[in-house]
Amino acid sequence: MLSDEETSEIKQKIISQVESTFPVEQIAGARQQIESMNSQQLENFLERNKMIKDSNKNGQEEAIENDCVFCSIVSDKIHSVKIDENEKAIAILEINPISRGHVLIIPKEHTNKSPKEAQTLAKKVSGKIKKKFSPKDIEISKSKLFGHETINVLPVYMNENFNSERKHATMEELESIKEELEKKKPEKISKKPKIEKIKEIFYLPKRIP
């Protein structure tokens, strides 16, 4: 049985997928249906859609890599707003952010333990957010869904934390945040020092009559 936290997080990821791939006229109905599910109904939904396998020897459910939401984001099957990447991970803006600039670091390979390169990317993105948006703090936390570990980079402006309410962001809003993060400060043009004209004073001897 899924925990309340797992149920909430899985719903958010499925809704993100729906909003990225469904026709506009179907999104509201699908979102309402997903949000109304309890943990057992959600589990049945995942099984029907082959998003989880049958229980393994330890009684734990395994994610099917090909149907993993995060793998679909990495392979561009699900549209996202990517702000950075390295050889092992990508950084995208969370579509259901807690705060402005909330970022998700996703390993490129399906793994239940994020590589050190993913953590390196999280630190790099954290520095960029601090520089551009000046939050009073940034929280970094790992989470795991569908057997794929990810890293959340959360800017804290007031008293936000990972239990705070999430709000849906449009792709236009996320693209705008990306532009701000990538915007370079205009280089200061050094002014040439004013050259003061030096008047030459000529001293001529007095004329003798």
Three-class DSSP category at 124: helix
Beta bridge partners of 181: none
Residue 88: inside a domain: yes
Kindly report, residue by residue over 103-120, the tens digit of the pLDDT: 999 999 998 899 999 999
Is the residue at 38 inside a domain? yes
d(CA 148, CA 34): 21
Q: Is residue 55 part of a domain?
A: yes
Q: How many domains does the chain have?
A: 1
What Cα–Cα distance (Å) separates residue 149 from each residue in 63, 90, 108, 124? 11, 13, 11, 18
CATH number where 43 lies: 3.30.428.10
pTM of the model: 0.65
User: Angle at CA 26, nearest 5°, toward 20 and 31?
Assistant: 70
Beta bridge partners of 141: 152
Strand partners, 24: none
- Per-residue model confidence as pLDDT tens digits over 165-206: 888 888 899 999 999 999 876 666 666 655 555 455 545 555
Q: Flag whether 198 is in a domain.
A: no
Is the residue at 203 inside a domain? no
Place of tokens 């009684």: 59
What pLDDT shows up at residue 34?
81
Per-residue buried b or exposed e for 92-115, using 16+ beta carbons within 10 Å of the residue's own CB: bbbbbbbbbbbbbbbbbebbeebb
- C-beta separation of 97 from 169 below 8 A: yes
Domain that holds residue 146: 4-182
Which residues, at least 6 apart from 103, have a Cβ–Cβ distance to it below 8 Å? 83, 91, 92, 93, 94, 122, 125, 129, 152, 153
Residues of the chain with pLDDT under 50: 53-66, 198, 202
* C-alpha distances in Å from residue 180, one per residue of 124, 152, 175: 16, 20, 9
Question: Does residue 52 lie within any of the structural domains?
Answer: yes
In a domain, 194, yes or no: no
Is 207 inside any structural domain? no
